[in-house]
Amino acid sequence: MASLDRKLQTCCTSSGLLRPCSMDRLTSLPDELVTRILSMLPTRDAAATQVVSKRMSRAFCWITTVDLDDSPVSHLVERFSLFEPFIDNVLHKLSQSQQPLTRFRLCLGADKTMRTCFFKSHTCKRACFPEPARLHAWISYPLAQCGLRELDLRFHLKNPAESKLPPEIFARQSLEVLRLDINFEINGDTDIPVICLPNLKLLHLRSLVFAEDDFVTRLVSNCPALEDLSITCWWLKAGSLIISSNSLRRFVFDIFKYENEEENSDLVLIDTPNLQYFNYSDNLAFNYILHLNDLVEACIYVSHPLQFGTFETSFRKQLSLARALSNVKHLSLLRWSIEGFYYAAKVKDPLPMFRNLRSLKLGTLCDSLCSARWDLVLLLIFHRSSLLEELVFEEGFFYPGGRTCDYHDPNYSHAAPYEAAWEAASWGITQTIPSCGETHLKRIRIYNCCGRDRELNMIRFLLGNTPILKEFVISMSKGPYGIGYDAPKFDQFKNKLEEIPRASNSCSIIYSDDEPAWLC
């Protein structure tokens, strides 16, 4: 496709029209092959080939894929002064051929983040959004075609309340892939009375606003072949998330609460016995019922504890969430998700044995008390993960907002001296080297390291108890309390690290500027 695009560039004249080159090979190809090539191109590029010859103009009418994106990434799109009339002309011409359509993609406006594109706080100033009637006609075009297998829509309207999503989208039996990144509100049975997607395998919903929490439950239950589900949307009210599917393999759930960011859901029930990847981002729910028997990878991002409950109650809910992940091989616990482990260490409420866990990514301990007690949490995890090979501190060791955290006091470096903090007799674990550290742990990575003495003590313990460690990577923090931009302090910290005794003779410390993937 790149060679075809370069050929079209060489055919451009100063007048902006395309003419066939003397060595033109495209027009000499069979009609069927030409149509397949044009169908694989962005529609704006495929449409530009019509000026080459009448044959190319006829071939364009038989394309089976429509890809309309107003992003000015190609020189060819500059040939169309207005994108809206271009869409009208393309769809009008294609409708005359009555060619079955397999894929339709429509993207308007720049790709934005969830929080800046919510329908009541949209700040886009571009005049590129169509009238509701015009937009409805564009969306309705693929729904009227036979054989549609993939539908991809992305647009954020300034006044989404004036438009409604065509309910036919959720009743196309031929659909296999459905991606919606739109800031429309869906009001359950009223807007979408019928859901029938028997062949749908991939469903990605982004920026939608759910007025009723049972719509997602009803949607999944009517997709018997669904394998990949991603929901990154707004929830008007906290309720219950109930997902039951035997076919689901991948599930991403990332919800923003509209009225109250700290509001907790009543129940999260996920019955997906064949699920392999689970990414859950929400506030802590009051109850969890999870059946995840074949889970391979999980990422848990809990933002807030229970709003109207004690910390003990919140910790117990976190432990119930952790127990459902006991079979996982790769686990990420970010933000508040790790706090329950501290509670388990203190009250002897045992964590499950993570017998299959190979890779573990940990967030920081957010609570002011817990942030000083990594010793309890880390040793407990080590003794429950006998096969652990990789350990990553995804958010650093300490939370900048914690009251006991030494970020706020330059002179505060020994709030919890780790030389004495590894006394664990009170919670039943001795100071013996964890088995995973002796025989399996090979890679350790620390992000957002600020160069404080408390971090040095943590690193001293890790380096001194991992005899087969191969890689120890540190990414220095460049924030207001970090030393990433302070060369003298960084050199001083580096010298201290090099003096730390290491149990592994083959391990070297590597310094990196990379940021964790969740920040990129």
pLDDT score at 195: 93
CA distances from 244 to 219, 222, 247 (A): 11, 11, 9
pLDDT of 268-327, one tens digit each? 999 999 999 999 998 888 889 999 988 999 999 888 888 777 777 888 888 888 888 989
Report the share of the chain in percent with pLDDT over 70.
Answer: 73
> Is the model's pLDDT at 463 over the cut of 50?
yes
Number of Cβ within 10 Å of residue 98's Cβ equals 11
Confidence of residue 479 (pLDDT cuts 50, 70, 90): low
> What pTM was computed for the model?
0.81
Q: Determine which of 110-119, 259-268, 362-371, 489-498 has the lowest per-residue pLDDT on average.
A: 110-119
More confident residue, 39 or 181: 181
Q: Give tens-digit pLDDT for 89-128.
A: 888 888 887 788 899 999 876 554 444 444 444 444 444 4
In this prediction, residue 15 has a pLDDT band, given cuts at 50, 70 and 90, of very low
Which of 445 and 319 is assigned the larger pLDDT? Answer: 445
**Residue 399 confidence (pLDDT):** 57
* Confidence grade of residue 370 (pLDDT, cut at 50, 70, 90): very low
Alpha carbon distance 417, 415 (integer Å): 6
Question: Average pLDDT over the chain, rounded to whole?
Answer: 76
Distance between CA atoms of residues 187 and 70, nearest Å: 29
Side chain identity, residue 396? G
| CA distances, 322 to each of 186, 221, 294, 360, 398 (Å) | 32, 26, 15, 13, 21
Q: Which of 147-156, 277-286, 315-324, 482-491 has the lowest mean pLDDT?
A: 482-491
Length of the chain: 520
* Of the listed ranges 84-88, 267-271, 344-348, the one predicted with least confidence: 344-348
Q: Do the Cβ atoms of 474 and 449 come closer than 8 Å?
A: yes
Whole-number pLDDT of residue 100: 85
Give 123 or 132, the one with higher predicted confidence.
132
Which of the four pLDDT bands, split at 50, 70 and 90, describes residue 50? Answer: confident
